[in-house]
A and B are shown apart, each in its own frame.
Chain A
Amino acid sequence: MQPILDGLTLSPWEPGLFSLAIYGLMVLGLVSLLLFFASWLGEKKSNPEKLRPYESGIIPTGSARLRYPVPFFLVAIFFLIFDVEAAYIFSWAISYDSLGWAGWLQISFFIFVLLLGLLYIWKKGGLEWGPTSKQD
């Protein structure tokens, strides 16, 4: 039915055992480290008095966790979205030579839409934070 694309299937190559093992060890190490930290932080016997932050003997008012300013939260969201866009651009970039001009046009449109988005948040003040932005 659909045109057959030559060679566009999985290659008969086994996952490299050595690199997999190294990678696995690293991840397992990280996992156990995180597990250890999580249990270490979570199961400690504690009472409110012990958990209270030390502020030179003065009883703290309010929570120690300060609320982040809003623009930072927006920037985190923008980062996530552009991160995903980068993943697509990366997929194109590793095979750009075999995709030719058609691929170039496709990714150009993709990047154009991405730039539109960037322009929009710029124009609407999504990138401005701090007290300096007094205009309009």
Chain B
Amino acid sequence: MMNVWTLFIPELYCLLMAVVFFGLAMSARPNPRRDYFAALFMAGVGVVVALACVRLEGTLFFEAYRVDLFSQVFKVMLAMGFFLVVCLCTELNGIEERHHPEFYLFLTTCTLAMMMLVSSVELLTIYVALELSSYSLYILVPLRRGHGVDVEAGIKYLMVGACASAVMLFGLSYVFGVTHTTYLVEIIHVLPGVIGTPAAIVGLLLVLCGFFFKLAVFPFHFWAPDVYQGAANQVTAYIATASKVAAVAIIMRVVALSGGSSKYLVDMLVTLSIASMTLGNLVAIVQKDMKRLLAYSSISHAGYVLIGILSMSATGYASAIFYALAYLVMNLCCFLVVVKVSHDGSDLKIAQLAGLHRRAPLLAMALMLAVFGLAGIPPTIGFTGKFLVFAAAMEKGYVALVIIAMINATISLYYYILVVKAAYLMEPDEELPRLPVSIPTKVLTVALVTAMVVFGVAPSYLLEVARAAARMLM
């Protein structure tokens, strides 16, 4: 009985964190410093806990919950994403001080829910965990200090999300009706027999809709720009990184169900992938707001990740896992700069980056590397990720898809270069003071940059882990 609960330690730890923040939320006096340090400390320990549990294996709760390398790797990524987002909260000016404990509480419950999400292998548990993570985010968005924009973004997010989850639920009812089980393990056995029937395909696609909403893939993408812009910067950082990682994990689990035997599903995924990439890249070009630009870039990146997933091979899944990790690091680095440059918590226009190389050379360098990584330029982790994804697709013979993706990557270079140009070549209208960059921020920036470059040049260790994790899916 004892070892059953050891398997559950990362989640239990998150639960403990949630309870602590709940206690802090009850206290009468707002104290942002105390909240911040409590969050930082506990999130840091959370990463250690998740790392310590990475080798555990087993099943829990009537086989509804599987702990294996795949889930544990994603849990480490989620814990890291959570920790790094908390690191960005030194000046949490976008949110009223007395609501800081609630902010951390929602972040924690969201992380908890996504940890459960990546471990669940049963439809009901998946659905409920997904909803818990969604609702935490729905409330985080309008938590921003009064702009008027936040409410609008919150409403759009909630409405689109509720529709997507209802669509997904209807798909689940089809899947259950066809396969008479809710366990993914058994669905894998039953589904190949019925995958030819339209009901199974339609059901699976409708189910995927709910996850595509989380990942902001093409038909469900339109919440992303508004929510990215409307939410507080730190919340946006969390939505853009951790929640995307969890979505990638669960999409992989569901797509792996089909066993690669369905032509329709692959065709559909190819279409969606191309649509997301193209749309995201083309619209990103005209954006003026940094967070909106990152939103459209995230839509196009969702397309790239889908390429890895739709290959439906161990290599493909491994490349998608690697890409998710790369995306997490690069995007967090971008948001680090966004948060630090607009330290009063307001939105950041791209033009406001002007002169950054003199105001804060380190941040400018980090931004350049992160943006080059997002564009897929060689010495960074982003290039390695794209390369792996494309290689996996080539292996399966999707040449046209890879060519389109490469053209897209070239288009995306244009607007990424615009950002770098703003930071390095443009001068601000009036002279702005140097940005104060504290020592911990410097350490964090250097660590992120090092990770981007080192794992870009020598990805073999991470790739091994990703491969081992992907094998768990097959």
Contact = CB atoms under 8 A, between A and B. Distances in A.
Q: Do A and B bind each other?
A: yes
Interface of A: 1-3, 116, 119-120, 123, 136
A123 B28 CA distance: 9
B25 A3 contact: no
B185 A1 contact: yes
Contacts of A1: 63, 183, 185-186
A120 B402 CA distance: 53
Contacts, number: 16
A3 B64 CA distance: 11
B62 A3 contact: yes
A3 B183 CA distance: 12
A114 B63 CA distance: 27
16 contacts: A1-B63, A1-B183, A1-B185, A1-B186, A2-B62, A2-B63, A2-B64, A2-B183, A3-B62, A116-B22, A119-B26, A120-B22, A120-B25, A120-B26, A123-B26, A136-B28
Nearest to B62: A2
A70 B185 CA distance: 49
Interface in B18-65: 22, 25-26, 28, 62-64
Listed from nearest, the 4 A-B pairs whose CB atoms lie closest are A2-B63, A2-B62, A123-B26, A1-B185
B25 to A, nearest CB: 7
Nearest to A136: B28
Contacts of B22: 116, 120
Nearest to B189: A1
Contacts of B186: 1
A1 B186 CA distance: 8
A1 B22 CA distance: 38
Given A1-B63, A136-B28, 11 more contacts: A1-B183, A1-B186, A2-B62, A2-B63, A3-B62, A116-B22, A119-B26, A120-B22, A120-B25, A120-B26, A123-B26
A136 B25 CA distance: 16
Contacts of A119: 26
User: Which one of A119, A120, A136 has the greatest number of beta carbons of chain B within 10 Å?
Assistant: A120
A120 B64 CA distance: 32
